[in-house]
Amino acid sequence: MSKALSRNVWAQSAAALALAAAGVSAQAQSTPVKIGLMLPSSGTFADLGKGVSNGFKLYVNEQGGKLGGRAVEYLAVDDESDPSKANENANKLVKRDKVDLLVGTIHSGVASTMAKVARETNTLLIVPNAGAGEITGSMCSPNVFRSSFSNWQPGYASGLLAAKKHKTAVTISWKYAAGDESVRGFREGFEKGGGKVVKDLTLPFPGVEFQPLLTELASIKPEAAYAFVAGAAQVKFVKDYAAAGLKTSIPLYGAFLTEGTLAAQGDAASGMQTALHYADGLKNPKNDAFIASYTKAFGAKPDVFAVQGYDAAQLYDAGMRAVKGDTKKKAEMIKAMENAKLDSPRGPLSFSKSHNPVQDYYVRVARGNQNVMTDVIVKGLVDPSPDCKL
């Protein structure tokens, strides 16, 4: 070996030793960590996907663009909220692009397929919205986390809220996992508070033909109604509800019904009460800073979907920091994520044994463009997840 070559080899090993001593692997230094964002950028949930993606990227930017010492590369797929394309889309990111982390999605049916793919390939998955119960229930898995809610949680909190004033209710929901589970949660909360759900009305996702259901609702004359429709469709729903003259005669409850859409819903939504794990006017230092930096970065106020995306990134960072960017140390990453206590804009956030958020639920009332927090309806709500054996 020439003198120059041996000097070079020596210098390289010294550098590797120095990095190892600093606890940073050579891999961590050289290659970006790949994050697959599988979210809708078209269809009724497009704005929700945007909120999640913005929130996630905001957190990463606040860390100087690095997690666990590694730069971040994003690979994005529009999942179109279409369950029939979910397997192919998730496999594109996992098998073709070889992402280190899969993040997605909004729609429960699509997210359940993502969870299956994540489980089969042992890919780390963080679900930043979709509430399908099975993801942190019967299908729960060490490598799957959620930074949002199970559909049962906001439904249950809304049921408790409605039961404070009413004895009978009718539900209206999209007929798919999120609608069914949200209504189940509402029923449980409402009955716990002494109420009775007298009828469940449904329509197919992502339908917006609400009129026949509103006519039936009016004929049943319950004291209250609970609805699960979301995204762009909730604007039409709340407007149709008011136009049908039901706003004052049958008070309408919902968890997401006014989230991020008050400007478009206008007077039709004013005064509506909702229960959710985020609210306008929530006072904590993290939320103040989050609102300021989100507004500066994107020129719009954040909503719950942005918070869930931000916290998905915070949760991943807890794992990345623990292993100093060495994603091969998956068991160590998972342990750190399980034990994470996040300072979330929504308030303190920890995770249940099944990897689902444990969080407070707030009462909000729609005033102008704000879902103003007026109370806490449940503190530290845990999804029971009896079928999860972790």
**Site for ligand BEZ, rule CB under 6 A:** 106-108, 129-132, 151, 178, 230, 256
Which residues are paired to 77 by β-bridges? 38
Residue with smaller CB distance to ligand BEZ, 131 or 319: 131
What's the closest the beta carbon of residue 256 comes to ligand BEZ, in angstroms? 5
What's the closest the beta carbon of residue 18 comes to ligand BEZ, in angstroms? 47
Three-class DSSP labels, 158-189: HHHHHHCCCCEEEEEEECCHHHHHHHHHHHHH
Q: At residue 84, what is the residue type?
A: S
What's the closest the beta carbon of residue 282 comes to ligand BEZ, in angstroms? 19
Residue 71 DSSP SS3: strand
Residue with smaller CB distance to ligand BEZ, 28 or 186: 186
What's the closest the beta carbon of residue 280 comes to ligand BEZ, in angstroms? 18
Separation CA 348–CA 282 (nearest Å): 12
What's the closest the beta carbon of residue 118 comes to ligand BEZ, in angstroms? 17
Cis peptide before 142 (omega within 30 of 0): no
Residue with smaller CB distance to ligand BEZ, 100 or 303: 303
Residue with smaller CB distance to ligand BEZ, 267 or 387: 387
Asked if residue 238 lies in contact with residue 257, where contact means CB atoms within 8 angstroms, the answer is yes
Q: Show the tokens assigned to 229.
A: 């429709």
Residue with smaller CB distance to ligand BEZ, 77 or 178: 178
What's the closest the beta carbon of residue 132 comes to ligand BEZ, in angstroms? 6
Residue with smaller CB distance to ligand BEZ, 46 or 342: 46
Residue with smaller CB distance to ligand BEZ, 36 or 254: 254
Residue with smaller CB distance to ligand BEZ, 178 or 366: 178
Residue with smaller CB distance to ligand BEZ, 89 or 108: 108
What's the closest the beta carbon of residue 25 comes to ligand BEZ, in angstroms? 37
Separation CA 304–CA 51 (nearest Å): 8
Handedness of CA 306, 310, 316, 319 (dihedral sign): negative
- Say how many C-beta atoms besides its own lie within 10 A of residue 211's C-beta: 11
What's the closest the beta carbon of residue 41 comes to ligand BEZ, in angstroms? 15
Whole-angstrom CA distances from 52 to 26, 49, 94, 304 are 31, 5, 20, 9
What's the closest the beta carbon of residue 75 comes to ligand BEZ, in angstroms? 23
- Pairing verdict, β 196-203 and 168-174: parallel
Residue 25 DSSP SS3: coil
Half-sphere exposure of 200 (CA within 13 A, CB side): 14
Separation CA 268–CA 266 (nearest Å): 5
Q: Phi/psi at 332 (nearest 5 deg)?
A: -65, -40
Q: Which of 390, 384, 378 is nearest to 160 (CA)?
A: 378
